[in-house]
Each structure stands twice: as C-alpha cells, then as structure tokens.
Amino acid sequence: MISIVVTQEFANLRLDKFICKKFDISFALAQKIIREKKLKVNEKKADPSYKIETSDQITIFADLPKRFETKKNKAKISVEKLQKFLTNKIFEDENLIAIDKPSGLATQGGSGIEISVDDFVTSQKWQLVHRLDKDTSGVLLIAKNNETAEFLTNAFRDKLVKKTYLALVNGVVKKENGTINIPLRKKLLGKNEKVSPDFTDGKEAITKFKILKKFSNYTLLELNPLTGRMHQLRVHCKEIGHPILNDVKYGGKEVLKKDLCKRLCLHAAKIEIENYNGQKLEIATVAPEFI
C-alpha cells in the first residue's frame, strides 16, 4: 500500500495525470488502476478526471515503480546555475528556504520551459509547497524535508498562512477597501487554460483588497487572497473593472503598458506563517520595480 499527501504544487491536476507524474506507468494503466478501485482519495473511490486538491490523501493498493526523470527531460543544474538561483534567497533556516522569484521564471516545468524553480529544488531533494505564476514575482517557499513540506501544506489548507500581494491595476479604483467574492472555474481553451467566473459550478474564491496609492490612470492595490485558485487575483481584479497592468490574457491590449513596466505588475510581497517553530514567521521582499 502506498500513501501520498497532495502538496499545493499539484493542486487542480487530474488524478490520472498525477499518478503518471509520480509513478513510472502509462496513462492507460493509471486510469485502469483508478477504475478497478485500487486507488482511493480521502478513503473514497474517485474518477480518473478528478482534480486533486491540496492535502488530499491518496491511497494506492498496488506496488508501483516511482518515476525518475531521464537526463534527456531533466534540466542540468550546474553549480554555477544553482549559485545564481540562490542569489534570490531571502530567508533560510534548517527546514525552509524562501526566494524572491523573478518574473519570467516558471515555478514548474512544461511545454517550452527550459528550466524552472522545480528543477533547482529537486536537484537538492527539496520540495515545492505552493506555486506562483511564471510572470508573477515574489515570495516562494521551499521545504528542505518531508516534515516541513507536510507542515506547510497543512498550514495552507488550514488558512494559517497569510499572503500579501502588490498589484498595479488599470484605472482609478474608487472604493478604498473591500472583499471580492466571485467563484471561479478553470476552462481549457485549445491548449491553454483560462479562468472565468462561474456562480453555478465554480469554486469559492475570495480576495480582500485595499488601496495603497492612487495615480492619474492607475491604482496600487494590496491584495490578500483568502483562497488559492488559479489566476485568482488576476481574474478578480479584472472582474471589478481594474485588470492588472500588462495582463493581456485577462485585461486585453488596453492594459499593455510596456513603457511603464515590461512585466506583469503583480508581486507576492509577503508571507506570514502562524506557529512556525512556536512563533509567527514573516518573510517579505523588497519593493518590486513597478512601484
């Protein structure tokens, strides 16, 4: 019997694809194992298309070989590359590393991505416990061991981690502060995924916001997501009529302001973790260049 606790980096992945990522088996065999009820999620049978969530308990009643990436598919991490990556480090102790991830560096690998944070992390046998979009910069946590990965996964699930983002949005926001409560649903459009409001089948998504500074045509917002949906902040800002600058995917060409800043104007500025080694841990970055 094999037991797995899903970490946040795999949230929203199909169950059958997750099994293929973890074990050296074919997609067809993964589906067969699920259909034959040799696998349970949270002690219940599940469908191969089920989208796994953070802290899901997956139990497999079969012996499966673990998957090891081949040298062909795995990015080569030299000492020099690792040292350069670690220049982004803003916190470290015996259990945890936090980096200020640059915009443009993917958290995980995928089509067209040569190297990602995960490549550096796995080369050191560390673990990602959450993720940031490729174009979003800011605090990213990396667990050095299984115990810390489990602690942080549970902390995210139990809402004991507070995340604070800074976003420069299009237009002048009138309301000084408020809460955006719009359920979201991820949809596949060709080969791309896009998130849209869905009050019927969407998942709960809640974001608190407050104005930090107003400009003639823009507003600097502080955003605190209370849930962790894909592209939540980007879609929520768009839905209140103020998409994030340079977020063409959700705001269209009118928010393209490369003369102001050449990147997506969204930054994970601070993370606060309750009861980390018995006390509150706060990790913050320097201000991003778009401020």
Residues annotated as part of the active site: 133
Residue 63, judged by CB atoms within 10 A of its CB (0-12, 13-18, 19+), counts as exposed
Give the strand pairing for 137-143 and 266-276.
parallel
Which three-class secondary structure state does DSSP give residue 112?
A: coil
Tokens of 4: 């797995």
Q: How crowded is the C-beta side of 90, counted as CA atoms within 13 Å?
A: 19
Write a three-state SS string for 62-100: CCCCECCCCCCCCCCCCHHHHHHHHHHEEEECCCEEEEE
Euclidean distance between CA atoms 289 and 266, whole angstroms: 10
